[in-house]
Amino acid sequence: MKPGLSGSTVLVTGAYGFLGQGLVAALLDAGASVAAVGRDAGKARERLGERRGLRFIAGDVNEPLAYDGPADFVVHAASAAAPKRFGVDPVGVLSPNVFGTRNLLELARARKTRKFLFVSSAEVYGVVPESRQPILESEPGGVDPTALRSCYAESKRMGEALCAAWHRQHGVPAVIGRLFHTYGPGMDPDDGRVFADFTADAVAGRAITVKGDGLDRRAFCHRDDAVAGLLTLLERGVPGEAYNVANDEAECGVLELAERIQRLFPKRVPGVIKAPRPAGPAFAASPVRRSLPSTAKLRALGWAPRIGLDEGFRRTVESYL
Amino acid sequence: MKPGLSGSTVLVTGAYGFLGQGLVAALLDAGASVAAVGRDAGKARERLGERRGLRFIAGDVNEPLAYDGPADFVVHAASAAAPKRFGVDPVGVLSPNVFGTRNLLELARARKTRKFLFVSSAEVYGVVPESRQPILESEPGGVDPTALRSCYAESKRMGEALCAAWHRQHGVPAVIGRLFHTYGPGMDPDDGRVFADFTADAVAGRAITVKGDGLDRRAFCHRDDAVAGLLTLLERGVPGEAYNVANDEAECGVLELAERIQRLFPKRVPGVIKAPRPAGPAFAASPVRRSLPSTAKLRALGWAPRIGLDEGFRRTVESYL
Q: Check A140 against B127: CB less than 8 A apart.
A: yes
pLDDT single digits (tens) A199-217:
999 999 999 999 988 999 9
Look at strands B272-275 and B208-211 and give their pairing. parallel
Give the chain A residue nearest B136 (alpha carbons): A144
Q: What does the pLDDT read at residue B1? A: 40
Beta pairing partners, A119: A177
Closest CA relative to residue A314, chosen from A195, A159, A151: A195
Q: What does the pLDDT read at residue A193? A: 79
Mutate to test the interface with B, among A146, A162, A241, A243 (most CBs of B within 10 A): A146
Average confidence score pLDDT of chain A = 93
Which residues have C-beta within 8 Å of that of residue A92, sequence separation ≥ 6? A80, A85
A205-240 b/e with 16+ CB inside 10 Å = b? eeebebeeebebbbbbbbbbbbbbbbbbbbbebebb
- Indicate whether A235 pLDDT > 80: yes
- Indicate whether B189 pLDDT > 80: no
- Indicate whether A20 pLDDT > 60: yes
Peptide bond into B134 cis (omega under 30): yes
Q: What is the mean pLDDT of residues A237-244?
A: 98
Nearest to B146 among A94, A150, A242 (CB): A242
Q: What is the mean pLDDT of residues B50-60?
A: 94
Nearest to B176 among A146, A164, A166 (CB): A146
pLDDT single digits (tens) B282-312:
455 677 888 899 999 999 999 999 999 999 9
Interface A:B, Cβ pairs < 8 A: 123
Catalytic residue IDs of A: 152
Instruction: Give backbone dihedrals phi and psi of B285, rounded to 5 degrees, phi first.
Output: -55, 140
- Indicate whether A162 pLDDT > 60: yes
In percent, the amount of chain B with pLDDT more than 70 equals: 97
Here the ipTM equals: 0.92
Banded model confidence at residue A2, pLDDT cuts 50, 70, 90:
very low
SS3 call for A21: helix
CB B265 within 8 A of CB B311: no
Chain B residues whose CB is inside 8 A of the A91 CB are 165-166, 169-170
Beta pairing partners, B76: B13, B118
Q: What does the pLDDT read at residue B2? A: 43
Catalytic residue IDs of B: 152
Q: Check A176 against B146: CB less than 8 A apart.
A: yes
Q: How far is B317 from chain A (nearest CA, A)?
A: 35
Q: How far is A72 from chain B (nearest CA, A)?
A: 23
Residue B84, exposed/middle/buried by CB under 10 A (0-12, 13-18, 19+)? middle
Closest CA relative to residue A115, chosen from A65, A176, A162: A176
Q: Check A141 against B138: CB less than 8 A apart.
A: no
Distance of CA B18 to the CA centre of its chain: 8
Q: How far is B153 from chain A (nearest CA, A)?
A: 10
Chain B residues whose CB is inside 8 A of the A94 CB are 161-162, 165
Mutate to test the interface with B, among A144, A149, A166 (most CBs of B within 10 A): A144
B31 dihedral zone (left: phi>0; alpha: psi -120 to 50; beta):
left
Give the Cα separation of A226 and A182 in Å (integer).
Answer: 7
Q: What is the mean pLDDT of residues B253-265?
A: 94
* Residue B81 or residue B58, greater confidence: B58
In percent, the amount of chain B with pLDDT more than 90 equals: 79
pLDDT single digits (tens) A50-68:
999 999 999 999 999 989 9
Instruction: Give backbone dihedrals phi and psi of A207, rounded to 5 degrees, phi first.
Output: -60, 145
Q: What is the mean pLDDT of residues A137-153?
A: 94
